[in-house]
Structures are given as C-alpha cells and as structure tokens.
C-alpha cells in the first residue's frame, strides 16, 4: 500500500512538472512572433577593424632581409682596443677608424688609465696606438695608430645622427668579452635620452645588445654609416644600451685633434629656458660686454633657435652645441627677435675668468665655491649665473643655467638664504647642493676653497 502511495505521489509530481514545462514552452511560442517582428539592433556605422587593401607594402617601409652585405662592407673599419694598466692588467674595448692615416675613435674610459695601447684590425693586423686627445665629459677619445701599415687603413663613413628616428634599424659591431667583431642588431628606442651622467647627456637608446667590450664601438645605420659610439649598458635591464650621437663626436673631434682635450669655447651670454614641451625656447637674458655674442649683435630677449645650422630648442642643446667647439671657432647663430628671423656669426673665445666673476645683474658672488647666483622671477630656487673655471663648483660639474633648489638640505627661494644655508655644514665642510638641470635633479657635494 505504501509503495502505491509513493508511486502516486511521484506520478502527480511528474504531471505537475510537465504542466509547468508546457506552460513555459507555450509562452515562448507566443513570444516568438513578437521577437521576430521587433526592430533589429542598429548596425555599426563603421567597420570593427581595418584591413590594408591589396598586397602592396607599407609606404616608405622596406622589410629588412639579410644584413650580411652591410656587415661585410663596414667590418674592416672596426677595431679591437686592448690596454695595459700598471704593467699587468688588461682591459678590452672597441673603436673604429675614421681616416686612412690611422685615427681611431673610442671611449675615454677604455684608455684613460692606459700605459700602453694595442689595436687589432679585423684582418688580424696589430698596431700600437697613442692617445691624441680625450674628454671625460663626453666619454670620447681619439687615438693615432703607429707602425708599419698605419698610413693605408680601411675606414668607416660617419652619418648624421640628427636624422635618426625612433624605430630605425641599427647594427652594433664590437668586441664584447673579447669576442672579436661580434655583430648585434636592433632599433632606435629613444633619442636625446638623459641618464644623469653629465652635462652632455644626449644619448641614443637602442635595444641592439651591448656588453662589456663593446665600449667605443660603432653603431651603424642601414646605409653603413656610423650614427653613434656605443658607451653604456643598463646592467639591471635587457636590451637597453646607449650610444653617443655621432654629430656630437664630429663637433668634438677637431677640438681633440688640435688641443688634446676639450677646450670650451665661450659665447658670452646667459640663457634661460622658457616654456615647456614643444614650446620650449632658449632665451638670452644677459649679454656680456665685449663678448663674442655682443660683437655679433646678440641682444637680451633674443631666442636662440639654431647653432651651426642645427636646430636648438632648449638651454641644454645650446650648451652642448657651444661647449664642444674650441675657442677660435666661428659659429652661425639663428635667432628670433620678436617676429623677425636673424642670422649672425660669432667667433668663440676662451672664457675669461674676470667675466665669470662679474655679476651681470644683481647677482650674489659666492667665492667659497666659485660661482655667481641670481634670483629667478618665480620661487623654486636660484639660478647659477656664472661659474669660475677650475673652481670648486666647476670641478663638481655645475654649469651656468643650473637652478639650485637646496643647499645643505635647506630649500632655497631666494639668494638671501644661500649664506645661511652654507653655514649649516660647518666651516671647511663640503656643501651639499641639489640642483635642477632641465628635467633632471641631482645632488653634488662641493668642497669649498681653502
């Protein structure tokens, strides 16, 4: 009896379930015609994606194939640089021949402590070399090969680094870890990269692999021209290397050949950078009396937009263009005076010590560390107006146009605060200075003169 009762309950539940399903199905059938007759969703006004019509290539783009012909053409001009220090230790680097008489460009840090230098060519020949000139601030050095065969050597061509664009293909050739004439390739990752190593930060960033031993080697474009000198690698990252732009090298080479070091030319102006982004400009704030700029007719308020036919957009660019040129060099300046465009020529001279000490406006002369300061038109620091050549501030790397924001951890708003802040460190103690140069801020300790 119990079984029959249970079966009856199950049958009743099934019938009820079937009725529910039937009701649901009938409702859906009823709704279907209405759904069919409903207004359709609006069609998209454009395509969801784009496809390139036809099979033609991207305009102005040539897909790279083999780089072997380029490498074969330029490899003979790339050299291995080996140095002996203190009689026993050896360091290896790279370089490249710029003329048949045996002039070689490499990095300063490869040869700066060398007691002897030996250069090996790609064909296996080895020659002695001597340093003709070097400059630590740009990490560049010029060598001359000596000995039999030094007068008829294979050379490379120098290109134009100003024409580089992010995405351009490049090839690096050097001697990483002593492995002769190793070839890597990549592209330009960034231009004018500031990495905080000095006033001439203007590096080309590339993802072409660069390792110890590549230092001083060439970075080639797809025309087989040197566009940079490989100099640094970020050890914490992969595919991040840096090269000195070859146009900077070309500006410096006559100076190194003539003087053995970078004799800095002097124009005789103070510059303030105004604006930001694409509107940045290097504006002349003061012109020293009887200076090359004064003789050329430069006036306060002029915007310097070009040096030697090359565009200038910032204070740092102007500094680099002028400071690499030797005294006696005549340089063309492109100016904007109001709405008028002007071009003048100025012959650079050696910076006179007396001029650097003379405050042009109402500046503050700080003899202890060898500089002159003046207030900015807005709060946020004081500007370096002049630096005494060879003085403590000069040795520490400060430059006219730098903005001091702190002295001994005391924030500055006006030059009246400088003397008090300098006294916080104690007599004769190094002065801790924080300064701003362009977009980079850094600290430096300056030891006062005795």
d(CA 82, CA 63): 37
CB 399 within 8 A of CB 391: no
Q: 163 in helix, strand or coil?
A: helix
CB 331 within 8 A of CB 306: no
Q: Which of 94, 109, 375, 402 is catalytic?
A: 109
d(CA 258, CA 261): 8
SS (H, E, C) 328-350: CCEEEEEEEECCEEEEEEEECEE
d(CA 406, CA 404): 6
Does the active-site annotation cover 215? yes
Helices and strands, counts by H and E, the chain: 9, 28
Burial zone of 192 (CB within 10 Å; 0-12 exposed, 13-18 middle, 19+ buried): middle
Q: Which of 139, 201, 286, 375 is catalytic?
A: 139
d(CA 312, CA 319): 10
Q: What are residue 20's phi and psi, to 5 degrees?
A: -65, -45
CB 80 within 8 A of CB 120: yes
Does the active-site annotation cover 109? yes
Between β-strands 340-347 and 203-206, what pairing exists: parallel, antiparallel or unpaired?
unpaired
CB 147 within 8 A of CB 128: yes
Q: Which of 161, 215, 291, 314 is catalytic?
A: 215
Does the active-site annotation cover 334? no
The encoded tokens of residue 392 equal 């403590």
Residues with catalytic annotation? 109, 139, 215
């Amino acid at each position: 009896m119990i079984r029959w009762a249970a079966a009856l309950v199950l049958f009743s539940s099934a019938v009820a379930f079937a009725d529910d399903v039937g009701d649901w199905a009938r409702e859906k059938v009823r709704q279907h015609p209405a759904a069919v007759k409903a207004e359709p969703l609006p069609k998209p006004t454009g395509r969801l994606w784009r496809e390139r019509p036809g099979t033609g290539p991207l305009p102005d783009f040539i897909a790279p194939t083999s780089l072997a012909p380029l490498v074969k053409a330029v490899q003979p001009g790339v050299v291995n640089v080996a140095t002996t220090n203190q009689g026993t230790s050896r360091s290896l680097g790279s370089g490249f021949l710029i003329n048949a008489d045996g002039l070689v460009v490499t990095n300063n840090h490869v040869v700066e402590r060398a007691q002897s230098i030996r250069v090996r060519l790609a064909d296996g020949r080895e020659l002695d070399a001597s340093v003709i000139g070097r400059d630590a601030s740009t990490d560049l050095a010029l060598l001359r090969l000596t000995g039999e065969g030094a007068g008829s050597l294979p050379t490379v061509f120098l290109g134009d680094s100003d024409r580089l664009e992010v995405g351009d293909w490049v090839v690096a050739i050097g001697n990483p870890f002593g492995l002769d004439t190793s070839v890597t390739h990549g592209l330009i990752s960034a231009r004018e990269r500031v990495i905080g190593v000095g006033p001439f930060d203007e590096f080309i960033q590339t993802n072409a692999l660069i390792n110890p031993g590549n230092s001083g080697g060439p970075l080639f474009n797809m025309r087989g021209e040197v566009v940079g000198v490989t100099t640094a690698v970020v050890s914490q990252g992969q595919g991040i290397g840096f090269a000195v732009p070859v146009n900077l090298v070309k500006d410096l080479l006559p100076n190194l050949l003539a003087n053995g070091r970078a004799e800095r030319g002097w124009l005789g102006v103070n510059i303030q950078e105004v604006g930001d982004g694409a509107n940045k400009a290097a504006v002349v704030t003061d012109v020293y009396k009887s200076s090359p700029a004064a003789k050329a007719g430069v006036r306060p308020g002029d915007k310097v937009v070009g040096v030697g036919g090359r565009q200038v957009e910032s204070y740092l660019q102007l500094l680099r263009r002028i400071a690499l040129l030797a005294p006696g060099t005549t340089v063309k300046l492109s100016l904007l005076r109001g709405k008028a465009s002007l071009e003048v020529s100025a012959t650079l001279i050696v910076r006179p010590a007396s001029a650097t000490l003379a405050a042009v406006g109402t500046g503050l002369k700080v003899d202890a560390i060898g500089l002159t300061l003046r207030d900015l038109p807005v709060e946020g620091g004081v500007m370096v107006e002049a630096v005494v050549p060879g003085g403590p501030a000069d040795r520490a790397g400060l430059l006219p146009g730098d903005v001091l924001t702190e002295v001994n951890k005391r924030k500055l708003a006006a030059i009246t605060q400088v003397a008090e802040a300098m006294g916080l460190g104690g007599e004769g103690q190094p002065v801790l200075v924080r300064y701003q140069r362009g977009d980079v801020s850094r600290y430096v300790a300056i030891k006062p003169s005795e």
